[in-house]
Amino acid sequence: VIRLDGKTVAEHVKQRLLPRIEHFKSKIGRSPHLVVVLVGDDPASQVYVKNKQLACEKLGMKSTLLRKPANLSQADLEKLISELNTDDAVDGVLVQMPLPSHLKSDKIFELLDPSKDADGFSYFSTGLLWAGKATVKPCTPAGVIEILKYYKIPLKGKNVVVVGRSHIVGKPVAALLLDENATVTVVHSHTVNMQEYTQNADVVVVAAGKPHLLGKNDFKKDAVVIDVGIHGTGKGNLHGDVRFEELEGWVSAATPVPGGVGPMTIAMLLQNTVSLAEKRKF
């Protein structure tokens, strides 16, 4: 099994950004600037946000963390988004999910200006994505495509099955795979006999959020398996939606967890922020 190494591809994406960041700095006189909004004190979110900020700084980009208390009102959150939408010193905005349960993420996806939408989750960005006109693509799905391209895995005319249909992963990855001329089937929790689909796929992208859901018997010989799932064991170990250890000698290539799709998400966020910065009119 070829291990599709997300760390290597993420590094490649970041290196590719350096000249663009330098060019932006010399032209505009400041770095591309990402603002991350973190509401509440969810421990996992705090780690994600910190990693995003560190990655920005490492590439010479500016990042600002706006921390808000867990009891922030919907009106105050919406006011903050409106202010960031019109702040000329801000190129990209990311609202860390999940929000505390009294806040509506739908409203944020409606309100966030698509020209500042670093995550690519706003509904306007979703429309652009399906129209094939996106400036930014949702980070994890875009990362999946980067890995497949880096390892030169053919997609044109191939049968690709996506397991999962979320707004964050399944649906956008299906849109991006269609743009690569794959024949795409999306299966989900209501699919009858899911194996019939996955066993016929040349490439399977698994984003079900169910630990160890799929194994060798679900894939055809020499298939390519991309595992988006991330699950903690509570002991610091991570694993995915796929039983990776069963794949040896059966599939041709697969992403490990950790070290597969995970590292790509931040790299693509940085790329989105640079792309949004470059598109702005000063």
Annotated catalytic residues are 52, 96, 119
Residue 162 binds to ligand NAD (criterion: CB under 6 A) = no
What are residue 34's DSSP bridge partners?
A: 63, 92
Binding-site member from 145, 173, 208, 276 for ligand NAD (CB under 6 A):
208
- DSSP classification of residue 161: E
Residue 140 binds to ligand NAD (criterion: CB under 6 A) = yes
Residue 21 binds to ligand NAD (criterion: CB under 6 A) = no
Residue 33 binds to ligand NAD (criterion: CB under 6 A) = no
- How many whole angstroms separate alpha carbon 206 and alpha carbon 214? 8
- The position carrying tokens 């995970």 is 262
x/- mask, ligand NAD, residues 169-188, rule CB under 6 A, reads xx----------------xx
Q: Which stretch binds ligand NAD (CB under 6 A): 38-46, 78-86, 161-169, 196-204?
A: 161-169
- How many whole angstroms separate alpha carbon 130 and alpha carbon 110? 17
- Residue 269 identity: L
Smallest separation (angstroms) from ligand NAD to the CB of 208: 4
Residue 148 binds to ligand NAD (criterion: CB under 6 A) = no
- How many whole angstroms separate alpha carbon 240 and alpha carbon 263? 14
- The CA distances from residue 233 to 67, 84, 230, 242, in Å, are 28, 37, 10, 15
By the criterion CB under 6 A, which residues form the site for ligand NAD? Answer: 140, 163-166, 168-170, 187-189, 191, 194, 207-210, 213, 228-230, 261-262, 265
